[in-house]
Each structure stands twice: as structure tokens, then as C-alpha cells.
Amino acid sequence: MTEIVREFAAGLGFDLDDFQIAGCEAVAAGRGVLVAAPTGAGKTVVGEFAVHAALASGRKAFYTTPIKALSNQKYADLVRRHGADRVGLLTGDASVNGEAPVVVMTTEVLRNMLYAGSATLAGLGYVVMDEVHYLADRSRGAVWEEVIVHLPPEVLVVSLSATVSNAEEFGQWLGEVRGAVQVVVDEHRPVPLWQHMLVGRTLYDLFVVDDPAKPGEVNPQLLARVRALEGTAYRDGPAYRDGSGRRRGGHGGRAEGGGARRASRAEVVARLDHDGLLPAICFVFSRVGCDAAVGQLLGSGLRLVDDEQARRNREYVEQRVAGLADEDLGVLGYWDLVDGLSRGFAAHHAGMLPTFREIVEELFTAGRVKVVFATETLALGINMPARTVVLDRLVKFNGQTHAEVTPAEYTQLTGRAGRRGIDVEGHAVVLWSRGVQPEAVGGLASTRTYPLRSSFRPTSNMAVNLVARLGRERAREVLQSSFAQFQADRAVVGLSRAVRRGEHELVDLSGQMRCHLGEFAECAALREQLRELEKGATKARTARARADAAAALQALRVGEVIRVPAGRHGGYAVVVAAARGGPERSSGPSVVTEDRRLRRLTALDMPTPVEVLTTVRVPKAFNPRNAKARRDLATTLRIAVSERVPQAARPGRAARHTEPVDDERVARLRRELRAHPCHACPDREAHARVAERWWRKRRDVDALARQVQGRTGSVARSFDRICALLAELGYLDPPGQSVTAAGAVLRGLYTERDLLAAECLRRGVWSGLDPPGLAAVVSALVHEPRRDEGDTVPAMPSATVREVLERMTDVAAELAERERAHEVVPSTPPDAGIARMVHRWAGGARLHAVLRDSDIAAGDFVRRCKQVADLLGQIADVSAGTPVAATARRAADGVLRGVVAADRLD
């Protein structure tokens, strides 16, 4: 080891692994490094060495993380090691010692610094990018690529990644954009991980153990047990208590009584406790499920800590929440939290108050909590290892649909099992239920292919910042160096090869359809023209039916009762808000269903024109976010349906619209087909079958060729389209070569709806609002409703706010039209789902009053408020010296109070 690495290692208290030494030596030699290693392997040691090297050389080091919780955690670690005077923290809502030689920050903060040309960048020598595989994240991944591409060339980048199968490819790209980069890959887990399935209350090894000749073979005892259960009804009995194969705690297949039914959560935890497998993280892929699990354990009377530990936990929680108002604690779920923590278990999910999540993290890390029921967000970087990880299900909601857990997700989740320096081994347990096959679990556990895919795409904010800093042409070149374009270009090589192979196959097929009577290719072309003509007519009929259905939805009015066909919204419903925005960009009418759910209908829900069955009265002051109001309306709906709608009533059928086919053209094509010499060939149909294969191959090859064309320079073309749009709107000068005054405003707005925010400022949409009103309308720019929230605009706090939100919606619709014309991804309309709540909060209301009768979880509300305050601060900065700026400052102060500010570092 070099002297500086030896000096660093001497202060750690443990020996470095080979991959850690390799990473540190690369940094010491002045090379960038990509370290890809499993969760818990200790790759952050290489990042900490970069900090050590920076301090030793008198340069600065930035340590970036993807989430604020991880930033706080790493800040505390580095303060313990280097002292509070040498370490700073910069996140969206905390600024501590920001000019220190070592600063921990979220990646977005560094991106914003680079675009702003911040003086804090002076003297920067090292940047650690922890969890760099986040660049695959659909919504935030572009930030990592922006930072990597735009950092000054003299800055050394240390990238720390989870295990990915294309680390060499990623490292090659890093080398192209950053200079010399060493790739260090380590797939060895420092703590061995044993895989299990819990069937009933019997814990089985997933794989055959202690047999090197059978690596990856699923335990035959487990297979036999599951196959027997899958083929019979659930039952209890000795035949279902196979208890052989004991190893290190007896996990080969040891039963503890009970039957083959799925164990309750209390039974699962009791079994883990009995086998010495606590502490454990139980991943439950829903917030409701996590809270329900805590409730089940509370109801069971289970206790995992002794009385003294229970007292200490309770005192710690009371100390941490001392600044929160007593009347707010009930609505925040405080009493279940403190009761569970005093018994040694808790939930952990994004719907909780951030302070509560931090309490759970701290107590679990300290060993004072034995079980945490968590959603998968816990697996994203926070340092909370456990002895055991339990997967409640192998299906999760991915933001769009329910999908099976991928091998990469399975590895990320189970990677938490096994604490280095504490546990001899870690354990992953999958709970069996009908349909969960051991072979499928074995496939998840043994797959080692986790490719890293870029999610990078240019945005309006990115475009104006790049043009301002680099100029149009240089910006275009820089974007061409993105990982997204790097991967696209590599894919083009394979696609081009496939195109050439396809062209050869087309030549072969042409030879197979030769006809002695003439050119059969001409005959085949006539057949293809006929097929395309008939296909076009079918498409036109389908489009007409959809248009009719959309028009019928557009025409629905408040109070009208309809029946939605079978599906996720199926059943009777009453309209509570009409569609807005016109048929082409309608937000869809909102309805309350029989089961009291608030839903927004789309053409996918109503494939045929809807029929109004009856009407009911909807109160003028009806608030669809109020659970009681929805319950009362659903009762009125059910009564009206039972009294006025015949049993046989069904949704209206679409009138059949037959689009006229061009009869003259069809007749002409058929005459030409019959007159062709090959039409009389006795082998005509055999030739036709070959011709069909030729045309299918032709379409496939043409599609591949379009992909080649589309991927070549695709990122730069997207940038060009955005620049053309921005020039048309006045954010860039007409040739798009420089930034205008309006563009300078857009440069400072970092939000998903950046262009909409800039347009609202430029058009004076927000002028005249008071601070709570401005906070309310700005919330519509950051809010993204969860699927379990309502889909319609709630009651507004004032007519002024309603009017401003309607103007914002109109501006968004206008922008979307222009974006579509330029082939740019259209802006999403503002969502006013929390506008009334934010208005009340910014106006000084207590949290319990704000959240009353709301579907919004406390943690979601607090997180959104932080985003609102951050965007208000940006608005104040870019509009300095105007009345809107002063209002935005006061609005941000009104939002950043109480629980919203409670977990900010002092």
C-alpha cells in the first residue's frame, strides 16, 4: 500500500479488503474510480478515502448522495471522523457550514451549483457519487449524468455503485468523459447470505446446502412440500410438518407446530425471534400493509425488548418529539409509533413524518428496535442493515402496475441482511403463499444480471443552462457525450448488424417465391396494398368509436349517474366534476363510486359511449377529498340506483360507424390482381405464403432501420427540438444561440414543470396573490398524486386561487400543444390536489386540522411542503426585486414551520 492509503487504513480499526485497497490506490494515483460491490460490502470506504486525500492535499471534497436521509447519515459519520468544523451539509432544506473543505450534499444541489457557477466550487478536488446507479431512476436519474459530464476536468470522481452487470460498459463511458477511470468490481459478500422460504411456520433452506456438486439446486424437501400444498386444500397434520435437515439454527426444514396456512406476521416475528434471526427488516410493499403489521403485533401482545429497554425507547421518542404540538401527535400516528417502539418494532415508509422515520432508523441502527416493517424505499441507500430480511410478497406496485420483483430488486432488498463485523451470516426469508414457486424464488436469488440503463433526457431548464454556459454547439457536443447516447450508439452496432442480416434473408425469400409465369413480387405487392387498405379502414372505425366515447365523457355533468364497465373502476358512479380542457386534452370527469372511491375516468375506462342512467343531487359545497362527504354521496348513489335504475340497465353501446373503404381503389386492385400472369399459377398460394414471410421480414427490417436512424444522435436531436421550442417562446434568441432575460429566469427553476413555472411568472399569473395563496398554487407544480388519492380538483380555499389555478391549467394546455408540435414530451397539467391543505398550512392552521378528512399521509404532506418551500425560494431568487419575490419569501416562511421544519438540522 502507498503511504497515504496505509495512513488512512490505520485509523479505521479493521483490515481493508482487496477491492477497497484497489479503489483507494486508484484514487491515490490520481485516477477516477468506479467501485461496484454488493450492499454492505464496504464500498463507501473508498469514498471516505477520497475525503481523507482531499484534506491531506488541502483541496475540497464533495460527498453526494441521492436522498436527504443518506446525506444526514453520511454527514454525521464524517463529523465524527473529521470534526464539525471541517464538514458541512447542503440539502434542499438544510445548510450547515457550506464552505467547509468537506461538504455532504444531495446530487441535485451539486448540479445546481455547476449550472450557477457557484464560488463554492473553487478548490474542488474530489467528488464522491454514492449510489451512482441512481442514474437509472426514471424521474431523477439525469442529474447524475449532468454532474459527471459538467464537473471540471481536474476534479476526480469516485463513483460507488451497487452490483451491476455492465460495470465495464459504465466504466468505459466514465473514462471517455472523465479521463482515466479504474473499474473495481467485487461480487463477494463479506457476510454470507442464506436463502430461505417460510412455509406455514416451517423454515426451509431455499437451496441444497453443503453439497458443492449441486450449486443453485432448489431444496427437494421444499419443492415436495409446496407441490403437495398447491395440489390440495390448506390443511394441518403431521404429513405437513416435515422436520429434517438442521443446520446452524436448524433452517433446513424445522417445524415448530402449526399448519400449512400462511403464518401471521406476529407468528413470523415470533419464529425469527425463536431462531435467533432478529433484528429483521420485513419488506411489505405497501404503506397500509406496514402500518397494519404494526397493528397486528400490537394486538398480539408481542414484546421483543425488556422493560428497561422499553422505558429508554419511550423516553428517547418523547425527547425527539418534544417540539411537536400535542394536538398534532394523534393525526401523525404517534401513539402507535411509541407503543410499537417500546415493544421493539415499528413501521418505516414515506407516508410517515420524516422525524418519525429518523427515530426508527436511529433506534434500529442502535439495536434498540428488533423488527421494522418497511416499504422498498428503505433499501435505497439508508444504512440500516439487519441479520435477516423478510419479503412478505414477490409482487409490488412499480408506479404504473403490479409487477413481479425483479432479480435486481430482490438483490437490493435482501442485501440488507448480514451486518459486517456483527453477524457471521445473513438470512433472506420469502414467505410462501399459493402461487409462489420455489424455483421462481431460486431464479431471483441466483440471477446476476443487473444492467445499468441511462434515463437521461434533456429538459427546458437543462437546455437554457447549457446554452448559457457553453453556447448552442458546444452544449450539443456535451450532450452527445452522455451515457444515454453512449448506450444508444453501442446498441446501433447490433441493430445495424441485424439490418444487414435481414436484408440477406429478404434476398433468399425473393428467390423462393420465383414464378415461371412472371414476377410474383408484383402480385405480392398488390396483395399487400389490399391488406393495408382494409387495415386502414379498421383503424378508422376504431378511432371513430374512441372519439365517440371521449365525446360522451366530455358531455357528462355533475350529478349524472353512469355505469362503468368491468375493470378497476367498474360499477355505478356519480359525476362530481365535469371534464375540463376539451376532448383532445381532457382531464376526464371525476366520479365517486359505490365503494366511496374518488376516480377520474378516461377513454380506457369507457371504450364505448356512456349512457346516463339517472341523476342525483351533489351538494354545492361537496368536497371530494372529505371521506365522510364521499361516504354520504355513495349512500345516495346506491339508493338512487336501487330505486330508479332497472336491473337490466347496462352501459350504452357504441353505434357502429363503418368508415367507407375506397371501393373504386379496391376494385381496381382486385382487377389488377386477377389480371396478373402469376394469378393463374397452380403454385400461387405456396408463393403467397413465402411472399407473406417476405413482407413480414421487410416490415421488421424497416423498423430496425428506423431504430438505427432514431438512436444515432438521438439526445442531440431532442435538445435541438427543445431549443426550437424555447426560441419560439422567447427563452432563447430566435436562432437559439443565446439566453434571453426570460431564459435567465428559467435557468433558476429546477422542477418537473419548469417551463410552466417560468411562463406563469412571465405572464404575471401569480401577481396579486397573498403568501398562502401563492403557496397553494405553487403546490400544484410539485404535487404528483398517489394512486390511492383522489383524482379531481378539491374544494379551493378561495375564488382567487381557483381562478389562478384555472389560468395555470390553460397555460399548461397551450404549452403542451406547442411541445407536441415540436415533438417534445408535453408538459403535465398542474395538480391542485393539496392546494387547499397547503393554503391552510401556510396560513397558520394546525396540522391536525389540515389533515382532517384527507387521504394524504402526513409524511407525504410534509415532503410536498418541503418541495413547495424549495420552489418558492427559487421563485423568489429568479424574480428578485418584484412583489412576487417578497410574497414568495413570506410564503416559504409560512410553509417551513412546525413539523415541516422539525427534522431540519440546526
Q: Do residues 541 and 657 lie in contact, with contact meaning Cβ atoms separated by under 8 Å?
A: yes
User: Grid coordinates standing for 355?
Assistant: 422525524
Dihedral pair phi/psi, residue 34, rounded to 5°: -115, 120
Q: Burial of 201 by CB count in 10 Å (0-12 exposed, 13-18 middle, 19+ buried)?
A: buried
Dihedral pair phi/psi, residue 471, rounded to 5°: 90, 160
Dihedral pair phi/psi, residue 411, rounded to 5°: -65, -40
Enter the DSSP assignment of 869.
H
Tell me the range of 128-137, 403-412, 833-842 where mean pLDDT is highest.
Answer: 833-842
Handedness of CA 806, 807, 810, 815 (dihedral sign): negative
Identify the pLDDT of residue 711. Answer: 62
pTM (two decimals): 0.72
Q: Residue 88 — very low, low, confident or very high, per pLDDT cuts 50/70/90?
A: very high
Q: What residue type is assigned to position 221 of the chain?
A: Q
Number of helices followed by number of strands (H, E) in the chain: 33, 23
Q: Do residues 205 and 251 lie in contact, with contact meaning Cβ atoms separated by under 8 Å?
A: yes
As a whole number of angstroms, the distance between CA 806 and CA 311 comes to 53
C-alpha angle with apex 48: 43 to 51, nearest 5 degrees? 145
Q: Residue 653 — very low, low, confident or very high, per pLDDT cuts 50/70/90?
A: very low
Q: Is 60 exceeded by the pLDDT of residue 661? A: no
As a whole number of angstroms, the distance between CA 572 and CA 651 comes to 10
Q: Do residues 797 and 839 lie in contact, with contact meaning Cβ atoms separated by under 8 Å?
A: yes
658 vs 888: which has the higher pLDDT: 888
Identify the pLDDT of residue 413. Answer: 85
Q: Is 60 exceeded by the pLDDT of residue 214? A: no
238-244 long-range Cβ contacts below 8 angstroms, 24+ apart: 240/200, 241/202, 242/202, 243/202
Of 291-300, 387-396, 562-571, 804-813, the range with the lowest mean pLDDT is: 562-571
Of 162-176, 458-472, 664-678, the range with the lowest mean pLDDT is: 664-678
Q: What's the mean pLDDT in 320-327?
A: 79
CB atoms within 10 A of CB 273: 18
Identify the pLDDT of residue 492. Answer: 58
CB atoms within 10 A of CB 225: 24
Of 99-103, 154-158, 246-250, 707-711, the range with the lowest mean pLDDT is: 246-250
As a whole number of angstroms, the distance between CA 803 and CA 109 comes to 34
As a whole number of angstroms, the distance between CA 304 and CA 148 comes to 46
As a whole number of angstroms, the distance between CA 234 and CA 259 comes to 8
As a whole number of angstroms, the distance between CA 448 and CA 439 comes to 16
| Percent of the chain's residues with pLDDT above 90 | 35
Q: Do residues 562 and 610 lie in contact, with contact meaning Cβ atoms separated by under 8 Å?
A: yes
What share of residues in the chain are helix, strand, coil (percent, to 5)? Answer: 50, 10, 35
Of 88-92, 284-288, 458-462, 493-497, the range with the lowest mean pLDDT is: 493-497
421 vs 360: which has the higher pLDDT: 360
Of 5-14, 560-569, 606-615, 623-632, the range with the lowest mean pLDDT is: 560-569
Identify the pLDDT of residue 690. Answer: 77
Identify the pLDDT of residue 397. Answer: 62
Q: Residue 233 — very low, low, confident or very high, per pLDDT cuts 50/70/90?
A: very low
Q: What's the mean pLDDT in 878-897?
A: 94
Identify the pLDDT of residue 755. Answer: 95
As a whole number of angstroms, the distance between CA 115 and CA 586 comes to 36
| C-alpha distance from residue 243 to each of 43, 274, 621 (Å) | 40, 16, 64
Q: What's the mean pLDDT in 632-648?
A: 83
| Percent of the chain's residues with pLDDT above 70 | 86
Enter the DSSP assignment of 737.
S
Q: Is 50 exceeded by the pLDDT of residue 657? A: no
Q: Residue 710 — very low, low, confident or very high, per pLDDT cuts 50/70/90?
A: low
> Do you know the residue count of the chain?
906
Q: Is 70 exceeded by the pLDDT of residue 567? A: no
Mean per-residue pLDDT of the chain: 82
Q: Crossing angle, helix 18-28 and helix 3-10, to 10 degrees? A: 130
Identify the pLDDT of residue 790. Answer: 47
Identify the pLDDT of residue 234. Answer: 39
Contacts of residue 551, Cβ cutoff 8 Å, sequence gap at least 6: 583, 609
Q: What's the mean pLDDT in 746-775?
A: 94
Q: What's the mean pLDDT in 657-671?
A: 60
| C-alpha distance from residue 510 to each of 514, 516, 529 (Å) | 7, 14, 18
As a whole number of angstroms, the distance between CA 633 and CA 593 comes to 9
Q: Is 90 exceeded by the pLDDT of residue 658? A: no
CB atoms within 10 A of CB 586: 19
Q: Residue 317 — very low, low, confident or very high, per pLDDT cuts 50/70/90?
A: very high
Q: What's the mean pLDDT in 185-203?
A: 87
Q: Do residues 162 and 133 lie in contact, with contact meaning Cβ atoms separated by under 8 Å?
A: yes
Q: Residue 537 — very low, low, confident or very high, per pLDDT cuts 50/70/90?
A: low
Q: Is 50 exceeded by the pLDDT of residue 655? A: no
Q: Is 80 exceeded by the pLDDT of residue 314? A: yes
Q: Is 50 exceeded by the pLDDT of residue 5? A: yes
Helix (H, G, I), strand (E, B), or coil: what is residue 47? helix
Contacts of residue 691, Cβ cutoff 8 Å, sequence gap at least 6: 513, 520, 521, 523, 524, 527
Q: Residue 488 — very low, low, confident or very high, per pLDDT cuts 50/70/90?
A: confident
| C-alpha distance from residue 85 to each of 7, 119, 694 (Å) | 22, 19, 73
User: Grid coordinates standing for 847?
Assistant: 396540522
Enter the DSSP assignment of 879.
T
380 vs 117: which has the higher pLDDT: 117
